[in-house]
Amino acid sequence: MPRGKIPRQPSKAGRQDRVSRPITKPSGAPSKPSVGLGGRTRPVASKKPVAPLKPAVALSGKAKSSGTTKGYNPIAAERISEILKRLDERYPNVTCALHHNSAWELLVATILSAQCTDARVNMVTPVLFEKYPTPEAFAALRPEDLEDDIRSTGFFRNKAKSLVGAARKIVNDFGGEVPRTMDELLTIPGVARKTANVVLGTWYKIADGIVVDTHVLRISRRLELTKNEDPQKIEQDLMQVIPRTRWIDFSHQVIHHGRALCIARKPKCAECPLENICHAADKTWSTVDIHKNAKP
CA distance 246 to 239: 10
Tell me whether residue 12 is one of the annotated catalytic residues: no
Q: β-strands 34-37, 65-66: how paired?
A: unpaired
Cβ atoms within 10 Å of 226's Cβ, excluding its own:
22
111, exposed or middle or buried, with CB in 10 Å at 0-12, 13-18, 19+?
Answer: buried
Q: Is 110 within 8 Å of 198 (Cβ atoms)?
A: yes
Residues contacting 24, CB < 8 A, separation 6+: none
Tell me whether residue 17 is one of the annotated catalytic residues: no
Residue of 169, 194, 208, 237 marked catalytic: 194
Q: Is 248 within 8 Å of 202 (Cβ atoms)?
A: yes
CA distance 10 to 26: 34
Residue of 149, 159, 169, 213 marked catalytic: 213
CA distance 143 to 242: 40
Residue 254: which of 91, 107, 78 has the closest Cα? Answer: 91
Compute CA distances 247 → 57, 129, 202, 241, 253, whole Å: 38, 29, 11, 10, 10
Compute CA distances 252 → 26, 85, 139, 212, whole Å: 86, 14, 30, 10
- Planar angle of CA 61, 62, 68, nearest 5 degrees: 120
CA distance 100 to 277: 36
Q: Which residues pair with 43 in a beta bridge?
A: 34
Q: Which residues have a catalytic role annotated?
A: 194, 213
